[in-house]
Amino acid sequence: MGQRPTTSPAPGTVIQDRLAGWVSDLTTLHELTERLARTGQLTESLDEVLRAGAALVGARRGLVVLEPADGLGPAHTVGLGLTRADLGSIETVPREATVYGRVLAGLPGAEGGSELLPTADPDAGEGRYGPPVDPRHREVASRLGYAASFALPLNPSAAGRLGVVVWFYDESAEPTERQRHLVGLYCQYAAEHLTQVLEVERARSRLTAFAEELLPSRLPRVAGVQLAARHRTSARGGGDWYDALPLPEGALGLAVGSVSGSGPSAVAAMGRLRASLRAYAVMEGEDPVAVLSDLELLLRVTEPARSATALFAFCEPALRRITLAGAGHTPPLLIGAGRTEFVETSLSAPLGMLSCWEAPCVEVEPAPGETVLLYTDGLLQRTGDAMDRAFARLHAAAASVPRSHREDPGAIADHVLKSVLADGLGEVPDDEDVVLLAARFE
């Protein structure tokens, strides 16, 4: 009895299978690009590109090097499944000896692709996909345990090269043609998204630099008092500020404030307000109410649609006496060995909120070794707590300052920051500015 002839699948079945595969691929790409679109920070976006690409090509580890061709930065190297030491080892390999290094160098014909590393056989000669493997590259690959890599450039359509992404295989392997196609489409979208995120990051950096330039470059030295300041501009560019300026007869003016709004206009308004307060403080600093009244009038005339909070303190270190007034601002905190308490300032409206602003002064006499901490409400708002709980957290942080830190206002400010905020003034951008100004009286 003869063998039955094998039958080929019906043409309709083949087409259905192909359509099902295409639909599956499109669904996968849609899900991955949607996830990438939800990322707004540069490092977060690079992490997502690495994870998504690794899933598409079947790799476990990888790295992305961001080096915009325009030379304006920022430069980033982010790893997936690689420690900082691993990344350092990879960076010791001459770039021209790696497929992704050749892409970064812009060498002719360097468009990415696969690279096998004959780590087990030093005499294997040429790799399957390129020139002989550099000895240093072979050594690093053997130590880290990868045997192949696949790299793709990040080239947006409307700009020059952004960088390159590479994934590492533990064994001699390469992505299939289907995987190459999918990850290629994904990287095209990723390059466009990263271009947008990069521009936002650059704008934030410029705004932060602008805001920092409007604040004191250094604090003055005044007999009888030690000063320290901590400041971080928000991701959107806010209007929180501080100042410390020496005044006649050994006096010292301290100020903190916050301008409503965000972005370049708020930063510019902050700079104008701070400069004006300095002038008023020199002329009539011994009367903080007069200083803030003048500031309120200026704000009402020049910035009618904007409000601001401010606190100005006229300090006489030789007498250990402070005269202060606040306009809708958070109360200072007095920190010492015998007490930790908020200064009871009178309730007052922010500047620009009423037709005429005025509030009484308050006098404070810190004991030797006590520190007065001025701050903006961004410190409280960054906690995410209700204001009463945020104030309680701030008080607890100040009360827990170790004895060894109490002689250094900078150490006090750092301890308060780390106790109140989970990451202190970490690099993760936030929507609130933070300002702390600490003055320790001897």
Transcribe 79-147 into DSSP letters: EES--HHHHHHHHTS-GGGSHHHHHHHT-TT---EEEE---S-TT--B-TTSSBPPHHHHHHHHHHT--
- C-beta separation of 315 from 225 below 8 A: yes
CATH superfamily label, 21-206: GAF domain (3.30.450.40)
pLDDT class of 353 with cuts at 50, 70, 90: confident
Fold adopted by 214-441: Phosphatase 2c; domain 1 (3.60.40)
- C-beta separation of 179 from 56 below 8 A: yes
Averaged confidence pLDDT in the chain:
86
Per domain, the residue ranges of the chain are: 21-206, 214-441
- pLDDT tens digits for range 184-232: 999 999 999 999 999 888 887 887 777 777 788 899 999 999 999 998 8
Give, for 51, the enclosing helix (H) or strand (E). Answer: helix 42-57
Q: H helices of 108-260, where?
A: 135-144, 177-213
Q: What is the mean pLDDT of residues 259-268?
A: 84
Closest CA to 322 of 277, 370, 375, 376: 370
Give, for 29, the enclosing helix (H) or strand (E). Answer: helix 11-37
Cβ neighbourhood burial of 250 (10 Å; 0-12, 13-18, 19+): middle
Cα radius of gyration rounded to whole Å, the chain: 30
Q: Look at 194 and 160; give whichever has higher pLDDT.
A: 194
Q: What is the mean pLDDT of residues 172-194?
A: 92
- pLDDT tens digits for range 101-149: 888 887 665 676 777 765 444 444 444 445 567 888 889 998 999 999 9
SS3 state at 55? helix
74 cis-preceded (ω within 30 degrees of 0) = yes
| 20: pLDDT strictly greater than 80 | no
CA 234 – CA 100 distance, rounded (Å)? 35
Q: What is the mean pLDDT of residues 247-272?
A: 90
CA 380 – CA 142 distance, rounded (Å)? 51
